[in-house]
Structure formats: structure tokens, C-alpha cells
Amino acid sequence: MEQSDLLAPAATPAVRPLTARQRAARAARNGGEPTLEFAERVPYDAYVRASTLHRLQQPITDDPGEMSFLMVSQIMELYFSLTCHELRHAQRELRANRVWDALPPLRRAALHLEGLNAAWQGLRWMTPADFNRFRNQLGEGSGFQSAMYRQLEFLLGLRDPALIRPFRRQTEVYAELTTALAAPSLWDDVVTLLARRGFDVPDELLARDLTVEHEAHPSVEAAWVRIYADGGPENHLRLLGEALTEVAEWFGDWRWHHLKAVQRAMGAKVGSGGSAGLAWLQRSMARVVFPELWSARTAM
């Protein structure tokens, strides 16, 4: 079987919906036992594609520890995608002025980021000797090259056009990243919402070049100071601020755990992708997500 056959999506029958009455009838026929016979593919596999997922782990060495490294990386990729999905949902609600409806996807995004952080636990066993047994075989492969992580950073307002250059030969991925870079971040949508709600946000901030990373602005900070001054239960903007703070906090924790995992496994060696490794990660952590939400707290 070719590798392409393993990675191609399998043809599956549509998942057949059941009503509550049909489920009750099936349970009665089974005497409370699970159904064990199906005419076609097991419905769980048809929906979750579990058999496809479990064929995606293809280590390139015989070292038993590489499987942990590979699978944890794949788990993180899924969490990146899931978090992006929730943040885009929140953006749609904010653009429609539905602040209350933006809170559930932001809450889910924070929980997904919590799960993303927990994935690091699967690599706590890795010492430099453990990593070195398979590191050379990875070549120039590096988490720095994750396109979905770039999508997540762009959504959170961390913008650097240079970081999409590695994908120029992957035209579809490059086009997606170029589009994401030019689109408003979640924070851009929040700032625009504040302007619509009557806060004094200057026009030049609303019309800025979105491919350039947002810099903290006094007017946005002042808006959050005013918002937090109202502790009433109907102040949905304050609830929005707290939901965004939780997202930023969990994302910051992930960056910190990433740095510590690198420090544990390779110290201050240069990165596989050509960066300075630990030093590069330390510099990147200085870029703050939703900066005025944090600076406003000093003035509250």
C-alpha cells in the first residue's frame, strides 16, 4: 500500500441519524446490550475516522520515544485547528454585535487551550539524550513551521509577514496564510466593536494596515478601564474582557510550556529550523496577546 493510500480520506457511507424513539427501540431489541452487528462500516469509525487517524503516525526511526514526540505534535496540531475554529466563531458573533453569543466559543477556546497545555505532559520524560536519539533524522523539521499555529497567532493578533515565507512552495497553504494575515484578528474585531459601542477609538487605528502587528493604544486601554468600572451583571463587555483574558492567559501558558520543553530536551542548542532555539522563543514571548486588556489593569 502506498503512503498516499494511507493518507487519503476513506470513502464512507453517510452517518445515519437516529431519533430518540429509534434509539429506545434498538436498546429494547438488544436487551440493554450494545449493538454488535452492522451492515457496513462501524458508525463510530465512519464519523470519527479513527482508523484514518491511527494510520497517520509514521515514525522515521526505530527509537520508541519518537512515537510520543510525533503523536503529541499531531495532537497539538488538532488543538490549534480547534481553537482557531472557536475564535473564528467568536469573531462572527462580535461582527454581528452579539457580545453575549461570543462568550461560549471563547470559553470553549480557553478550554481547548487548557487541553493543549496538558499535551506537554506527554513529553516531560524527554531528556537531551532521549531527544538526540532521533533528532538528527528530523532534518530541518521544526514546530516553527506549523501553518496552523501561524493561523492561531494571526487570529490572536500576533502578526509577522516574514513568518509565512517558508510556505511559498506550498501554494494552497501560502494562500490561506496570506489571506489570514490580511484579515482582522480577533482583537481587531474587539477594537472595532468598542468603536461601535461609542468608545473613543481614533479612525487611524480602525483603518490601520492589518498585516502589521497591533500596538497598544491609550484609547483602547482607556475603554477597558471604563468597561471594568461597571461591575453590573448586564455589562457584557466586561464579561467579554474576562473571556478574552482567559484565552490570552492559556495561550501564554502554552508558550511558556513550549519554552520549558525545549529547555528540558535541548537546552540552548540552535533550533532544527535554523533559529537560535531557546533564545528565539524567549524573544517571541515578549509579544503580548490583547495588550490593552493587561495594561488597563494598572489604571483600574
The sign of the CA dihedral 167, 172, 173, 176 is positive
Surface-to-core class of residue 129, CB atoms within 10 Å of its CB (0-12 exposed, 13-18 middle, 19+ buried): exposed
Q: Tens of pLDDT along 182-194?
A: 999 999 999 999 9
On whether 54 is known to bind a ligand per the annotation, the reply is no
Distance between CA atoms of 36 and 42, rounded to whole angstroms?
Answer: 9
Closest among 110, 151, 299, 295 to 215, alpha carbons compared: 295
Cα-only R_g, the chain: 23
Domains and CATH numbers, the chain: 3-53 (no CATH), 66-299 (1.20.58.480)
32: alpha, beta or left? (left if phi > 0; alpha if psi -120 to 50) = left
Give the mean model confidence (pLDDT) for residues 106-127: 96
Would you state the pLDDT for residue 149? 95
Q: Tens of pLDDT along 75-97?
A: 999 999 999 999 999 999 999 99
Residue with cell string 537531551: 128
Question: Which DSSP helix (H) or strand (E) runs through 186?
Answer: helix 186-196
Residues 113 and 251 sit within 8 Å (Cβ to Cβ): yes
User: Under DSSP, is residue 9 helix (H, G, I), strand (E, B) or coil?
Assistant: coil
Would you state the pLDDT for residue 247? 98
On whether 258 is known to bind a ligand per the annotation, the reply is yes
Distance between CA atoms of 116 and 256, rounded to whole angstroms?
Answer: 12
Instruction: Go through the chain and tell me how many residues it has.
Output: 300
Distance between CA atoms of 46 and 61, rounded to whole angstroms?
Answer: 31
Question: What predicted TM-score, i.e. pTM, was given to this entire model?
Answer: 0.90
